Amino acid sequence: MPRIGMEPLRRKALVDATLRTIGQQGSLDVTMSEIAREAGVSPALAHHYFGSKQQLLVATIRSLLARLRTDAVAALENVETPRERLSAIIRVSFQADQFAPETVAAWLAFYVEAQRSEEVRRLLIIYARRLRSNLLDSLERLCPPDDAARIAEGVAAMIDGLYIRQSLRSAPIGSTASVTLTEDYLDLQLRPFLRQDEPGTLAPNPSHRRGE
C-alpha cells in the first residue's frame, strides 16, 4: 500500500523527470518507461498517476507555467516604477532555472507539440497572453497604447527568439547577455517617450502618455 502523502511527491518527481528526459533528448519522442526510470518509479505507477503520456506532458507544462507565474509575482513585489517592473519581468524570463539548456529544449518541444495538440496549444497561448499583459501593464504607463502594444510584442518576440538561440547549443547565449540585449532593445524603444530629469535618471514624458 502506498504511504499517505507520497502521491504529491511522486507526481512532482514524475513531472520533474519528464522535463529532464525531454530536455535531454530534445523532443517529445520519449516513453513513459523512460520517464518513470528517470523518476525512480515503475511505469505502472506513472500510468496510475497520470493515465497517459499526454496527460503527463500537460501536467509538466502546467508546472512550468505555475513556477514562472510564482517567480514573476515574487519579483514584482518590491518594485515601484513601471520601468523597474519591466526589468523584473525580463529577468524572470531568463532566470537560471527557466533558461537552463534542458528547460529551453523542453519549451521548444512543447511548441512543436502545440501544432498537434489543442490542449498544449491553449496552455502556451495562456503563457503568451500573460507575458503580454504583464508588459502592457507597465508600458501603458510610459507611452501611448498603440506604442505600448508594439513594444510589448517586440519584447516578447525577443524573449522567444533568444530562447531559440539558446537551443542552438553550438553558440548559446547566456542568461545575463540575454537580459542585457532585451533591456537595450527596451531602452531604445522607450527613449522617445521619456524625459531626462537629471543625469542617470529617466521619467515618463506626460505629453507622450496623453498622446499630445
The verdict on residue 104 lying in a domain is yes
Grid coordinates belonging to 154: 517586440
State the average pLDDT over residues 119-146.
94
Q: Which residues touch 37 (CB under 8 Å, ≥6 apart)?
A: none
Does 36 have pLDDT greater than 90?
yes
Q: How many CB atoms lie within 10 A of CB 200?
A: 6
Tally of structural domains, the chain: 1
Q: Is residue 17 part of a domain?
A: no
Q: What is the pLDDT of residue 211?
A: 44
Percent over 70 (pLDDT), the chain: 87
Residue 12 lies in a domain: no
Axis-axis angle for helices 82-93, 175-190 (nearest 10): 150
Task: Specify whether the CB–CB gap between 162 and 178 falls below 8 A.
Answer: yes
22 inside domain: no
For the cut 90, the answer to whether the pLDDT of residue 15 exceeds it is: yes
Classify residue 139 by burial, with Cβ atoms within 10 Å: 0-12, 13-18, 19+: buried
For residue 134, the model assigns a pLDDT of 93
pLDDT at 91 over 60: yes
CATH number at residue 177: 1.10.357.10
> Considering the domain boundaries, does residue 133 fall inside one?
yes
Quote the pTM value.
0.81
pLDDT above 60 (res 208): no
Domain of residue 168, residue span: 59-209
Which one-letter DSSP state was computed for residue 80?
A: -
Radius of gyration (C-alpha) of the chain in whole angstroms: 20
User: Does residue 32 fall inside a structural domain?
Assistant: no
Report if residue 33 sits inside a domain: no
